[in-house]
Amino acid sequence: MLQCIFLLSDSGEVMLEKQLTGHRVDRSICDWFWDHVISQGDSFKSQPVIASPTHYLFQVVREGITFLACTQVEMPPLMGIEFLCRVSDVLSDYLGGLNEDVIKDNFVIVYELLDEMIDNGFPLTTEANILREMIAPPNIVSKVLSVVTGNSSNVSDTLPGATGSCIPWRAAEPKYANNEVYVDLVEEMDAVINRDGALVKCEVYGEVQVNSHLSGLPDLTLSFANPSILDDVRFHPCVRFRPWESHQVLSFVPPDGEFKLMSYRIKKLKSTPLYVKPQLTSDAGKCRVNVLVGIRNDPGKTIDSITLEFQLPPCILSADLNSNHGTVNILGNKICSWTIGRIPKDKTPSLSGTLLLETELERLHVFPTFRVGFRIMGVALSGLQIDKLDLKTAPSRLYKGFRALTRAGEFEVRS
């Protein structure tokens, strides 16, 4: 049972406080928490569960906003963490993003959502589709009406029909002139390449995202051609676990609209689509830089939005860098950003130049790590393939579509 929820800004300010039970939690717990964040840094903020002298704390950080929940009683830790993740997802969906100004501008709606999402410390209604029927999302018209009428409440007078259903994630009997369902495989590749060019780690985190606009109560099954490669799968509550456990088939009644059907991880991949070859040599107070970027394994689709970033070491006084393709910028925080776009067919993109060291240094002793970004439309680099999507109760006219997208996640090359 959660007793209180706090929303903290990136400076430690308490933007919102929601007491959930009769036992009031004092704000001094936030001061204790932020003092430890300042003293211990990122290592403390990476801990999802923290034991303070008086409470157990659960924390989730999204876009600089810290969601902090407190309890003094025994409870499953994952329930507290998962609920905070649901709160952050719902607020981001409702408000079109998360930041300090958005939270403060929509203070009333955030409180109303928390009132519906948790009751006496226990999660209640966490499905975005049902919450949208209960509480109208903010828009210009509603804000003008609240000023004119003096009524700031966005809560509906009627209870959504799906709240009493066995499938609370789906609105009651939606109807569409065109029935359609689209499935997207969205993957992020995490990789670490050492200074010798050897692949230390390469894995993919992926999501199966569905956009469903189907009339009535559809029952779908989605199967993969190679489900055995999947690790660490995590499902939306609509997925029936037994068909997956026995046959690796996703059987579900989908929510209405966009939702994440499942997430997965695929480990120990053998190659990356791009190579990055950095070379740094230093003497006499200068460091010469040369970086080559090219295609290692052609995925069969265009690799675009290629970027390369690295943090200049503190001992660098100035940098003179240029490239034969794309644009190079030195940002105010001493980050070098190279925007390549697409790899041209007639030349290999290269970045070269010199770095000026501090006067007392002859050689560079701290070498940067290069962070790579890219995007590939139409390909899932993990090799995961969708076999088929079937509807047990199919409408007379049904449109189905499949897409794939792979982009770089934590893709690092050490020099």
The lowest-confidence range among 305-314, 316-325, 357-366 is: 357-366
Q: The domain spanning residue 320 has which CATH number?
A: 2.60.40.1170
Please say whether the beta carbons of 409 and 205 come within 8 A: yes
The residue ranking higher by pLDDT, 138 or 298, is: 298
Is 279:268 a contact under the CB 8 Å cutoff? no
pLDDT, tens digit (0-9, with 9 covering 90-100), for 349-404: 999 999 888 877 878 888 889 999 999 999 999 999 999 998 887 666 788 999 99
Per-residue pLDDT averaged across 260-275, rounded? 93
Claim to verify: residue 308 and residue 405 sit in the same structural domain: no
Between 136 and 56, the higher pLDDT residue: 56
pLDDT band at 295 (very low <50, low <70, confident <90, very high): very high
Verify that 62 and 209 share a domain, yes or no.
Answer: no
Domain shared by 385 and 373, yes or no: no
**What is the reported pLDDT for 64?**
87
pLDDT of residue 144 exceeding 70, the answer is no
Contact call for residues 34 and 8 (beta carbons, < 8 A): yes
Asked if residue 240 and residue 105 are part of one domain, the reply reads no
Query: Does the pLDDT of residue 127 top 90, yes or no?
Result: no
Residue pair 220/389 in contact by the 8 Å Cβ criterion? yes
Q: Which two tokens stand for residue 28?
A: 């001094």
Task: Considering only residues 29 and 393, tell me which one the structure prediction assigns the higher pLDDT.
Answer: 29
pLDDT digits (tens, 9 = 90+) for 171-228: 777 888 888 999 999 999 999 999 888 999 999 999 999 999 988 888 899 999 999 9
Q: Which residue has the higher pLDDT, 108 or 191?
A: 191
- Do 225 and 290 reside in the same domain of the chain? no
Give pLDDT tens digits for 38-64.
Answer: 888 777 878 899 998 899 999 999 888
Q: What are phi and psi of 192, to 5 degrees?
A: -130, 125
Predicted local confidence at residue 157, as pLDDT: 52
Q: Does 362 share its domain with 410?
A: no
pLDDT for the residue numbered 96: 84
Q: What percent of the chain has pLDDT over 70?
A: 93
> Domain count of the chain?
3
Residues 9 and 103 in one domain: yes
316 within 8 A of 359, measured Cβ to Cβ: no
Kindly compute the dihedral angle of the four CA atoms of residues 354, 359, 364, 370, in this order, to the nearest 10 degrees. Answer: -50
Q: What does the alpha-carbon distance between residue 265 and residue 269 come to, in Å, rounded to a whole number?
A: 11
| Same domain assignment for residues 140 and 205 | no
> What range does the domain containing 386 cover?
179-269+381-414
Calculate what percentage of the chain has a pLDDT beyond 90: 48
Q: Is residue 222 in some structural domain?
A: yes
pLDDT of residue 190: 95
Give tens-digit pLDDT for 149-185.
555 555 555 555 555 556 777 777 788 888 899 999 9
Same domain, 69 and 10: yes
Q: Are residues 311 and 391 in the same domain?
A: no
Lowest mean pLDDT among 129-133, 195-199, 320-324, 348-352: 129-133
